Amino acid sequence: MDLTSNDPGEFAGLVDDRPEDGVFQVSRRVYNDPDILEAEYKNIFEANWVFLAPEGLLKAPGDYVATHIGRQPVFVIRQQSGAIGGFINACSHRGSMLTDCRAGSMTEIACPYHGWRFNIEGKCTGIKLRRVGWPEDDFDQSRFDLKPLPRLEIYRGLIFASLNADVAPLVEHLGPVTAFLDLFCAPAPHQLEVVAGASIHTVNCNWKVLHDNGPDPYHAATVHGNFAATMIHRDEISGNTGLDKTETGRLAGRVAAGMYAPGNGHTAFWADKETPEVYPVWAMKDQIQKSLPPGRAKWALERSRHVTVFPNLLVNELASTYIRTYRPLAIDRTEISSWCLAPVGEANELRAARLRKFEDFFMPTGMSTPDDVAIFERANQGNMAAAGHPNDMSRGMSVATPGADGPALELGIDPEMSSDQFTHEITLQGVYRQWVKMMSAGAGYG
Amino acid sequence: MADVALSAEVAQFLYTEALLLDERRWDEWLVLYAEDAVFWVPSYTMQGEPVTDPELSINLIYITSRAGLEDRIYRIRTGTSEASIQLPRICHQISNVTTEAGDDGLVVAGANFMVASWSHRRGQEFRSGRYEYRLSRDGGAFRIAYKKVLPIEEVTDGWFDVVSI
């Protein structure tokens, strides 16, 4: 494949999208061809909005998080004004990475190579032996200021950035997903904070194997049936009630549920909570019912929600609010970083109950995520079989509803597609339509 | 002056626990734990420090009863956990054992660990770090009241469980 031609047909040919025949199939080459990853870095990660970090990690001026946009090292930092700045994480002199920590705090930025200095607003404040190198009195040091990220916007405490100055405004990119992100923050008057600790782990799979799993509740009963069985067993022998009880209705498929393709490659699915009273958010029921219209209050209190934002963010609210981002390290290797958000000022008992359930499910050392990770690696192995079938993602294609269904109207969103079956694959169809669109556009940074 | 007899007894106890895990004798392993035992594996913060307050932090593992450890074994034995159906063959190395008398008659012990593992799907893996124990007496025998496992790795490659660290 000639990936430099930017011929739309090159990438469109990898996704067989025929709604009239009920067919949606994706070539396994998208998972196993290193040339595809190179094109994804350029045409997706470095051309689109990408999620960087929760703003709550940056509490005081000088607090920073260093991460990547595609292949390129970047960092975001809380500035003296309180605003968040974003910069390329490379010295403007000869490119040494300015920080090699994931996060920390600095009062100024000093390059460890030749000792150049920058303030946390990115201004070049010191060049070692400057007059020896540039004796001119009118030397303009500002040409060495750090290069800011072309675009940086924050929605509900989630920091997004883009290397492409021409991307649409963030809210336009997020579209109907904003309604879900608003709900994750519904327990106002409490702000959400990032709980101490993080989950950072690596998996031997293509990033899209991971991304495909997020909007795929179809796998849950198979892969997480053992978790549900373990929790049901525990509740039975211990007589657990209240905050100690674990919700299993969703995993067992006993509740109403549905999914959306909101557009732009994002996804959403939901399930009614069988036992909404066991969730920490239930403690804020009265406030939520007073502050939101009835339909949205129902969404906030009685439905678990799950969204992915193309290409690298997953947010869900099961026992707690979970934020996951991921970046490709290689065609068959992906790094995952996750955090837990919880309301500021929450009572310790509620907080602890929330966190223990979070750990049980989401840590790579818990009782669910290890099964996901093992499946990702197994799926990745199978996806090497380009000579076999393409991957089929057509479930529900012929019966899903274009536009909004009843629950979508309650939430006030207008998705591209709706389904009342969360084992459908309309979410993945939306993902790969956007994938083809971005890969074919070849917008590419620079 | 170190209590040589106590140090030797603690070391033997830690070797026994390691052997029970290596040989997957989990029912005998569970008996080593007190009913209200704490099993704690901190996560690392973004700044690269292990969390210090397990109740109000995200941990890799934070279990506060033997029943919680029993859940882990129950899950493995369902036979449907993809991460557990081909458990790695593991081999614990325990070294640098330290002991001191703690409060309430507990013995405070520490040890370095290195767990080599091999599985068909992930090949050879190594995990290393330090254990901290608080041991109580049940009659003559030690019971684990508290076990903290601090891996040296900030980023977990793959996954591990209470029986494989």
CA distance A74 to A61: 17
**CATH number for B133:** 3.10.450.50
The answer to whether residue B76 is domain-embedded is yes
Q: Which A residues 125-184 touch B at CB under 8 Å?
A: none
| Residue A5: predicted pLDDT | 47
Task: Report the run of H or E that residue A206 belongs to, with start and end.
Answer: none
Pairing mode, if any, of strands A333-343 and A321-330?
A: antiparallel
Q: Spell B53-75 as b/e; 16+ CB within 10 A means b.
A: ebebbbbbbbbbbbbbbbbbbbb
One pLDDT digit (tens) per residue for chain A, 446 residues: 444 445 556 898 999 999 999 999 999 999 999 999 999 999 999 999 999 999 999 999 999 999 999 999 999 999 999 999 999 999 999 999 999 999 999 999 999 999 999 999 999 999 999 999 999 999 999 999 999 999 999 999 999 999 999 999 999 999 999 999 988 876 555 678 999 999 999 999 999 999 999 999 999 989 999 999 998 898 888 876 655 566 666 666 678 999 999 999 999 999 999 888 878 778 889 989 998 999 999 999 999 999 999 999 999 987 678 999 999 999 999 999 999 998 888 889 989 988 999 999 999 999 999 999 999 999 999 999 989 999 999 999 999 999 999 999 999 999 999 999 989 999 999 999 999 999 998 755 43
Q: What φ, ψ does residue A90 adopt, rounded to 5°?
A: -150, 135
What's the gap in Å between the CA of A162 and the closest CA on chain B? 22
Using a CB-CB cut-off of 8 Å, the residues of chain A touching B158 are 201-204, 364, 373, 377
Question: Which residue range forms the structural domain that includes residue B114?
Answer: 4-151
| Residue A246: predicted pLDDT | 62
The answer to whether residue B159 is domain-embedded is no
Q: How far is CA B151 from the centre of its chain?
A: 10
CA distance A25 to B13: 57
Q: Does B153 touch chain A (CB under 8 A)?
A: no
Using a CB-CB cut-off of 8 Å, the residues of chain B touching A377 are 121-122, 158
- Mean predicted lDDT score pLDDT of chain A: 92
pTM above 0.90, yes or no: yes
Residue A374 tokens read as: 């093992």
The answer to whether residue B162 is domain-embedded is no
| Residue A253: predicted pLDDT | 65
Q: Does A59 touch chain B (CB under 8 A)?
A: no
Cβ-based neighbours of A227, under 8 Å, separated by 6 or more: A251, A360, A361, A367, A368, A371, B75
Q: Are A14 and A436 in contact (CB under 8 A)?
A: yes
Residue A384 tokens read as: 């090497």
Q: What φ, ψ does residue B21 adopt, rounded to 5°?
A: -70, -45
- Mean predicted lDDT score pLDDT of chain B: 96
The answer to whether residue B123 is domain-embedded is yes
CA distance A343 to A280: 10
Cβ-based neighbours of B70, under 8 Å, separated by 6 or more: B30
B75 with A230: Cβ contact below 8 A: yes
Does B102 have pLDDT greater than 90? no
CA distance B72 to A119: 50
- The residue in chain A having the minimum alpha-carbon distance to the alpha carbon of residue B82 is A371
B71 with A359: Cβ contact below 8 A: no
What's the gap in Å between the CA of A414 and the closest CA on chain B? 36
The answer, yes or no, to whether the previous bond of A189 is cis (omega within 30 of 0) is: yes
Residue A392: name the closest of A87, A4, A92, A21 by CA. Answer: A21
What's the Cα-to-Cα distance from A38 to each of A68, A70, B10, rounded to whole Å? 15, 10, 54
The answer, yes or no, to whether the previous bond of A311 is cis (omega within 30 of 0) is: yes
A271, β-bridge pairs: A257, A304
Q: How many domains does chain B have?
A: 1
DSSP E strands: which ranges in A351-430?
Answer: 391-392, 401-402, 417-419
Count of other CB atoms within 10 angstroms of residue A38: 13
Domains (range + CATH), chain A = 54-154 (2.102.10.10), 170-441 (3.90.380.10)
What's the Cα-to-Cα distance from A215 to each of A323, B46, B138, rounded to whole Å? 14, 27, 50
CA distance A39 to A292: 44
| Residue B47: predicted pLDDT | 96
Does B84 have pLDDT greater than 50? yes
| Residue A345: predicted pLDDT | 86
The answer to whether residue B48 is domain-embedded is yes
B158 with A373: Cβ contact below 8 A: yes
The answer to whether residue B96 is domain-embedded is yes
The answer to whether residue B163 is domain-embedded is no
The answer to whether residue B115 is domain-embedded is yes
Using a CB-CB cut-off of 8 Å, the residues of chain B touching A199 are 43, 58, 60, 156
A348 with B82: Cβ contact below 8 A: no
Residue A53 tokens read as: 């970090």
CA distance A407 to A410: 5
Residue A218: name the closest of A179, A264, A243, A253 by CA. Answer: A253
Task: Report the run of H or E that residue A220 belongs to, with start and end.
Answer: helix A220-223
Q: Does A233 touch chain B (CB under 8 A)?
A: yes
DSSP state of A45: I
DSSP state of A286: H
> CA geometry: angle at A37 spanning A35 and A39, to 5°?
75
Does B153 have pLDDT greater than 50? yes
